[in-house]
Structure 1
Amino acid sequence: MSIQAIAFDLDGTLVDSLQDLARAANAARSDLGLTPLATATVESYVGDGAAVLVARVLADDAKAQFTGTALQEQGMAQFNLHYRAGLTIATKFYPKVQETLHALHERGLPLAIVTNKPERFTLPLLRELGVFEHFDVIVSGDTLAERKPSPLPMQHVANQLGIEVDNLLMVGDSKNDILAAQNAGCASVLVSYGYGSELESMGADAIIHRFDELFAFLEE
């Protein structure tokens, strides 16, 4: 295995955005006359993009899907409004993320973002956090025809960087991240501190508990 580039998930891997997501989700619920949900409940609904999050939050059901009902469209519009207005009120990097990204960038290792977060949130969030320039490729949930766990985002990153997809490493916190890597034939590293749960059996090549432990994996 020769790692020539690294792709990172965003929410739950590089940044803890849960408070801002929960705030926007509950503001949207309030706009529609619904009572707020616990932050932990919102956390359990994160990972499959904003539209699915809104569907789950409105229904308070982890199995809900966005089908374009009038209520969901209204909720999506309100969520967009509230979240875009406060992308980084409480969102913060996890420990050692900034230093590690900077060090990897200085080494000349190509870096990418592969997230299911829509581009309308991903790009301004990265700019507000001051790390936009670190990434050579940014794939959001609506950049391509398919999103994680499809292998297409990983294949797209590899193509953009001019490398074989099996030389790309995926670092994430959820089953979608590990499955996307496995489906594409990439190595994967799971961070234990994110929003995913019970992922130890999914077959990631390594599990790290702090972001800078990534260096040890790369040096093996």
Structure 2
Amino acid sequence: MTARIVFDLDGTLIDSAPDIQGVANAVLQDMGVEPISLNDTRNFIGEGIHVLVSKVRAARDISDSAQEPMLDAFIARYDEAVTLTVLYPGVRDALETLVHSHRLGICTNKLYRPCVAVLKHLELDGFFGSVWGGDNPLGRKPDPSALLAAFEALGDGPPIYVGDSEVDAETARRASIPFFLFTEGYRKQSVDTMHHDVAFGNFEDLPELVETHIRQL
């Protein structure tokens, strides 16, 4: 049976926090403000760039009036923020296995252009038949609209959403889509407290977990 599998991006397929930290700190440096840490950055990722900038401002006690200028400065650098980003172990092999039998997509709160830029940089863009960024017209996660549209674009077949965060879990819950939780990403809560149907910490296990899930349908 051919499934439709949609993935989150940051914290799920890729560890992009070092690049995002670099962009944030370049913006802060231009303002004469102290940098944020890598741990701060991981905690700020997940709800889209507008929320990330708001959290950076809050962490450095920067006024609300700086939101739009900082957002513009961040976006101006974001397309090039790819050089420090790496795949989580086993991702490429898992995608190569899954794409032979299933249709794959992306639904992320990352802006579409930076999403496409990092997928191309990592030579992942050929795996996905549907890519939805956070600036899509339907809204950002946890609103499930873009996720449902990503599945619709992939055609028929049982759906699976793969993500790493509380936002992803809530999006899947609202969409009534089975959720596979990657436990080694940017989540803040314990696995036991998060909504999920399957939890895994190694992408080498994902293809068999998918097949097991499909057999049980």
Query: Aligned residue for 2:9?
Result: 10
Candidates 176, 180, 197, aligned match of 1:185: 176
* Alpha-carbon distance in 2 for matches of 1:122, 1:207: 25
Matched, 1:195 2:186: yes
Candidates 164, 184, 191, aligned match of 1:173: 164
Query: Aligned residue for 2:32?
Result: 33
Candidates 78, 81, 86, aligned match of 1:83: 78
* Alpha-carbon distance in 2 for matches of 1:92, 1:171: 18
Verify the 8 A CA contact 1:20 1:91 in the aligned structure 2: yes
* Alpha-carbon distance in 1 for matches of 2:77, 2:195: 37
SS at match of 1:6: strand
Verify the 8 A CA contact 1:31 1:78 in the aligned structure 2: no
Give the CA deviation at 1:92: 0.4
* Alpha-carbon distance in 1 for matches of 2:146, 2:97: 24
Unaligned segments of structure 2, at least 5 residues: 213-217
Verify the 8 A CA contact 2:2 2:103 in the aligned structure 1: no
SS at match of 1:113: strand
Candidates 130, 143, 152, aligned match of 2:136: 143
Counterparts of 1:53-72 in structure 2, within 5 Å, are 53-60=52-59, 70-72=65-67
Which residue type is aligned with residue 161 of structure 1? L
Verify the 8 A CA contact 2:109 2:135 in the aligned structure 1: yes
SS at match of 1:48: coil
* Alpha-carbon distance in 1 for matches of 2:204, 2:32: 44
Matched, 1:101 2:95: yes
Verify the 8 A CA contact 2:108 2:132 in the aligned structure 1: yes
Normalised TM-score (structure 2): 0.90
The root-mean-square deviation of aligned C-alpha atoms, in Å, is: 1.9
Verify the 8 A CA contact 1:174 1:199 in the aligned structure 2: no
Candidates 154, 159, 166, aligned match of 2:152: 159
Query: Aligned residue for 2:208?
Result: 216
Give every structure 1 segment of 4 or more consecutive aligned residues whose post-TM-superposition deviation is greater than 4 Å: none
SS at match of 1:106: coil
Query: Aligned residue for 2:125?
Result: 132
Unaligned segments of structure 1, at least 5 residues: none
Q: Cα deviations across residues 170-205 of structure 1 (Å, max 9, x unaligned)?
A: 000001111111111110110110001224222301
* Alpha-carbon distance in 1 for matches of 2:71, 2:39: 20
For the structure 1 residues 163 and 154, does the alpha-carbon distance in structure 2 shift closer, same or farther, using more than 3 Å as the test?
A: farther
Which residue type is aligned with residue 202 of structure 1? M
* Alpha-carbon distance in 2 for matches of 1:142, 1:212: 31
Normalised TM-score (structure 1): 0.89
* Alpha-carbon distance in 1 for matches of 2:169, 2:140: 13
Q: Cα deviations across residues 12-58 of structure 1 (Å, max 9, x unaligned)?
A: 00000010000110111111121111111121111111121112112
Candidates 198, 203, 210, aligned match of 1:206: 198
